[in-house]
Amino acid sequence: MKRLAKGALIAAAIAGVAAVTALVVTNGPLAAITVTTARVEEADLSPQLFGIGTVEARRAYLIGPTQAARVTRVLVDHGDTVKAGQLLAEFDPVDLEDRAQGAGSAVQRAQAAISGAEAQVREATSRQSLATASAMRLRDLRQKGFVSAEAADAKQHEANAAAAALDVAEAALIAARRDAARLGAERAGVGRQRAQFRLTSPVDGLISAREAEPGSTVIAGQAVLRLIDPHSLWVKARFDQGRAGALAAGLPAMIVLRSQPQVMIAGRVARIEISSDSVTEERLVALSFDKVPDGLSIGELVEATIRLPLQKNALGIPSAALHRVGQRTGVWRIEGGKTVFVPIRIGVQTLEGRTQVLAGLTAGDMVIEHAPEELRAGQRVRVVEQLVR
């Protein structure tokens, strides 16, 4: 009887240990983790990029003086539409008016000097012609013996002197013309300086800011007005560098303004900036509107979606199945009931949650899509249809 009782106790103990072990394995820390899986499949992928940006003007102008000056008049205000060449603002020219008048008077004197020099050239030309003719006539008479050699030489000397006088007159005329050209250039320079004190619009545009008022003094290069070309409005947006490999100019885009969240505005990739943001790891892209909508405001936030080229018959998996282990990107698979990490090379991703697989998997492979916790290699797993929350 004692032996039977002892055996029963041992059997009960073994059964208890087995029950506890089964409980630990089933529900305790050694229990298998429940996961869901997905199949690697071939399908057409329509990748898209989503980003946030702002409305900006592609062509914007800072209108200001090239030297320090005091503002006397500002003729336009924020929101005004202006035409190319239209006067926008004026500055105090200080002594430029007096300098311009002085330069004009100097040019007039130079023109009078030219007229006098031209008259002297005409007179010297006439004297030189008469003296040359007289010298030739006396030279003929000398050869015939009618006049002395001294008389012929004297007339030749007069002819030479008249020629020299003509050279002097012509040189004076050249100097007068050069002086007039110099004074004309100085007057033109004063005119250009005067023009700098009158700000005109370089293009047809819209005044986006008025930053100085009459009576204020501005320095060289300081903006008095800001002008934009309203037809050049576009969007500067940021997109994840990791998904921007297929970006190219001309790709279609859909733009949604924060002020009109229900309206989809068609656009295209106009330019991909050479530089990126290394801090946020984003690519900077400019998007143009197919038709610039009415009511745009500079600086308004927008949401932009770029449609990348269609990938036909691409091998894909749910993006939720992707994981990073160390420096490697891959997926978790099940081998022998335990987890194994498989590095893969990925391509484009869609906003619908699909990722293209370029290498590491084949069609029909099963990968773990969802798990209730972060997985580790060698963990026991159990596949279920849906995780219980």
Dist CA 277 CA 240 (whole Å): 10
Q: What is the pTM of this model?
A: 0.56
pLDDT for position 22:
43
β-strands 354-359, 381-383: how paired?
A: unpaired
Name the nearest CA neighbour of 307 among 277, 346, 275, 352.
352
Cβ contacts of 361 within 8 Å, gap of 6 or more = 40, 315, 317, 331, 342, 344, 367
pLDDT for position 17:
47
List, edge to edge, every strand of the sheet that includes 323-325.
323-325, 328-335, 338-343
- pLDDT above 90 as % of the chain: 21
Summarised one tens digit per residue, pLDDT across range 214-238 is: 988 888 888 999 999 888 899 999 9
Summarised one tens digit per residue, pLDDT across range 70-100 is: 898 999 998 899 999 999 998 887 655 656 6
pLDDT for position 20:
45
Judge whether 52 and 287 are in contact, CB under 8 Å: no
pLDDT for position 19:
47
β-strands 311-318, 354-359: how paired?
A: antiparallel
Count of other CB atoms within 10 angstroms of residue 301: 13
Phi, psi of 6 (to 5 degrees): -65, -40
Spans of the chain, pLDDT less than 70: 1-31, 94-100, 103, 189-193, 195, 388-389
